[in-house]
Structure 1
Amino acid sequence: MNRYEIKVLIVEDKKDHIQVLEDTIEEFNESNENYLIKYKTSSTYEDSLSILLEDDFDVAIIDLSLSNTRLSGETLEGNKLINIITKKLRIPIIVRSGHPEDAKPDDLNDDNEFYKVYSKSEDASEILNQIKTWIESGLSQALKASGPIEEYLQNIFWVHFSENFNQWNSIEDKSTQQKSLLRYTFYLLQEYLGINGEDGSFEPFHSAEFYIYPPVRNNLFFGDILSHNDEYYFILTPACEMAQEKYSKVLLAKITNFEDVSGFSSTKQQFFDAMKQYTDSEMDVPKKVTKSRDELARWFRNGHSNSLGYHFIPPYSDFPGGFIDFQQLVSISPDDFPYQKILTVSSQFSKDVSSRFSLYYARQGQPNLNPDTIINILSS
């Protein structure tokens, strides 16, 4: 079985500390069946920059003080190197220092998922376990310079733009032209990422893709999720009005808790009850479980017969999720707006909210036809 190679850059000027990491890596490689760590070492700030430009790494382990090439002033070379990585590269960073309190990069804090600080007194195997966790997430491989996005961009450049670039020649303003090309690149990336590369079939989206966090836009916009007094709301004001600032009120729909939508709550409970019986019995998955799961999934797809007037949105981090309730609307002046924006629903999903909201209020009924009369006509 081929093991996945993890490429690590070690930036350290003390030979004994390099040896500690090398010994720990050797033990990791001997005991791990799925991953093989390969590494390069550098002892100076300048060499580290050169190596980062020459090679493609998954992770960097950085000592803060590289005494051989200390820069002028109080700034440590390790912090300088971290600042360059965060601006130029997309790889996780581990600081391993005798003085971890000196780790003070410009744009990172201790809560950052891809920046971890360790003291040299800590067990180095914890660092390798953290690297393994990052690699298993798949994110660093997806976004690094040799990842699939680069492959897609190659196709976009040579297959799409090279054949049709003259279509953009009519745009005289170069800044406008560049933004148009970037938007088109984004649309093409969405097309590539929405299909299975092997057979061209459509792939299901992960629920985390439903949201943009933190929100990109500072101004209020259609699709924003707002918080106020422990309640949540969805902005329904049409995007065209908000983009042109032609609105005097912001239309909000309350997001109702899952448990307060009785049809969903009972369907969910039926599924979990069926699952409990299944796990307790250690049988093959029975039809009852499959049926109740499919019934619950209809709510997720907004296709359940009882979901008219609601739109399901999944949980995300501290946001509990719920149902956008088209029956609970409120109109608020933007001049007196106590709500806080916490999330934005991505355009892939928000456009369906707009469609279902319009459909809900555009319903038209008709008088009931006499079925006996129609049957008599059809039978004659």
Structure 2
Amino acid sequence: MNYKSMDINTEKVLLRYALANIQEHFDITDNDTEMSENIYLTEEMYIKYINTVDSVNRVQTGAIVKGKDENEKYFIILSPPCDLALHKGKFKSDRILLCEIDSYDDLNKNLISKATNSKDKQKRIEEIIQNNRTRYYHWLPRNILFEGGFINFRKVSSYSQEDFNEKFMEPKLKVQEAFVKSILNRFSSFYGRQGQPDFDFTNELKTNKDIFRKL
């Protein structure tokens, strides 16, 4: 194929195909040996937008945005990718879904400072960065690309495209796709969790002790 004859859509298709093949190669290589640990550097979690990317195309699932006020916090866009599909400059959905990102100071105030001793504090920190301490926090590591923080699934808001453009700065970076999938999965799980009314378990153990004794 003559490269000069390709239109921009063909170039995008070929680029996506090439990237998909590269990713497949790494996945196969990582899983092909028992010695592989598949460990990432934290910088790999983020992708910086290049200056040539149109600002409206930066509004993507996983993009990190900051409010225009000087002391405004960071947020992450969690609208499904299909809602952010563009048609004549407008998104498919009329709302953009965001979750607030709590800072390390916020987390220290809410969870870490309540530890009773240094061992408990260390345990909490380990559980938090592994996303095992609470169901509503998701860790975003601090590195040279981003100051990091913790997505708080309880702090959800949505904005029209016009309000979003007015209240938030242009996204400078986004979370890499592999990590976005994990975030969306935990976000959906948090709001999709179900429960049932509690029983009087102490009384049940007493009244059914003969049954339980046989187990």
Correspondence for 2:155: 328
Q: CA deviation at 1:214?
A: 3.0
Correspondence for 2:195: 365
Q: CA deviation at 1:184?
A: 2.9
Change (3 A) 1:202 1:268: farther
Q: CA deviation at 1:294?
A: 4.8
Amino acid at match of 1:205: Y
Q: Secondary structure at the match of 2:187?
A: helix
CA distance in 1: counterparts of 2:131 and 2:92, whole angstroms: 31
Amino acid at match of 2:17: L
Correspondence for 2:125: 296
Correspondence for 1:188: 24
Amino acid at match of 2:62: G
Percent identity at matched positions? 25
Runs of 4+ deviating beyond 4 Å: 173-177, 192-195, 267-270, 291-294
Q: Secondary structure at the match of 1:251?
A: strand
Q: 1:252 aligns with which of 75, 98, 103?
A: 98
**Does the aligned pair in 2 maintain the 1:258–1:264 contact within 8 Å?**
no
Q: CA deviation at 1:353?
A: 0.9
Change (3 A) 1:269 1:178: farther
**Does the aligned pair in 2 maintain the 1:267–1:295 contact within 8 Å?**
no
**Does the aligned pair in 2 maintain the 1:264–1:299 contact within 8 Å?**
no
Amino acid at match of 1:225: I
**Does the aligned pair in 1 maintain the 2:112–2:124 contact within 8 Å?**
no
**Does the aligned pair in 2 maintain the 1:311–1:324 contact within 8 Å?**
yes
Correspondence for 2:144: 317
Correspondence for 2:5: none
Change (3 A) 1:178 1:312: same
Pairwise mapping of residues 235-274 of structure 1 onto structure 2 (< 5 A)?
235-243=77-85, 245-261=91-107, 262-266=109-113
Correspondence for 1:379: 213
CA RMSD of the aligned region, Å?
A: 3.1
Q: 1:208 aligns with which of 29, 43, 47?
A: 43
Residue-by-residue CA offset, 1:70-94 (whole Å, 9 max, x unaligned): xxxxxxxxxxxxxxxxxxxxxxxxx
Larger radius of gyration: 1
Q: CA deviation at 1:202?
A: 2.3
Q: Secondary structure at the match of 2:143?
A: coil
CA distance in 2: counterparts of 1:214 and 1:309, whole angstroms: 28
**Does the aligned pair in 2 maintain the 1:299–1:312 contact within 8 Å?**
yes
CA distance in 2: counterparts of 1:250 and 1:208, whole angstroms: 26
**Does the aligned pair in 2 maintain the 1:210–1:349 contact within 8 Å?**
yes
Correspondence for 1:223: 62
Correspondence for 1:354: 184
Q: CA deviation at 1:264?
A: 4.1
Residue-by-residue CA offset, 1:346-370 (whole Å, 9 max, x unaligned): 0111111101111111111211123
Q: Secondary structure at the match of 1:328?
A: strand
Residue-by-residue CA offset, 1:189-208 (whole Å, 9 max, x unaligned): 4315646x864432321111
Q: CA deviation at 1:309?
A: 1.3
Gap runs ≥5 in structure 1: 1-172, 275-287
Amino acid at match of 1:186: I
Q: CA deviation at 1:242?
A: 1.3
CA distance in 1: counterparts of 2:77 and 2:152, whole angstroms: 12
**Does the aligned pair in 1 maintain the 2:43–2:145 contact within 8 Å?**
no
Residue-by-residue CA offset, 1:109-136 (whole Å, 9 max, x unaligned): xxxxxxxxxxxxxxxxxxxxxxxxxxxx
Paired positions, count:
187
Residue-by-residue CA offset, 1:31-50 (whole Å, 9 max, x unaligned): xxxxxxxxxxxxxxxxxxxx
Q: TM-score, normalised on structure 1?
A: 0.43
CA distance in 1: counterparts of 2:200 and 2:131, whole angstroms: 32
Q: Secondary structure at the match of 1:350?
A: helix
User: Which protein has greater RCO, CA pairs closer than 8 Å, 6+ apart?
Assistant: 2
Q: TM-score, normalised on structure 2?
A: 0.72
Q: Secondary structure at the match of 1:225?
A: strand
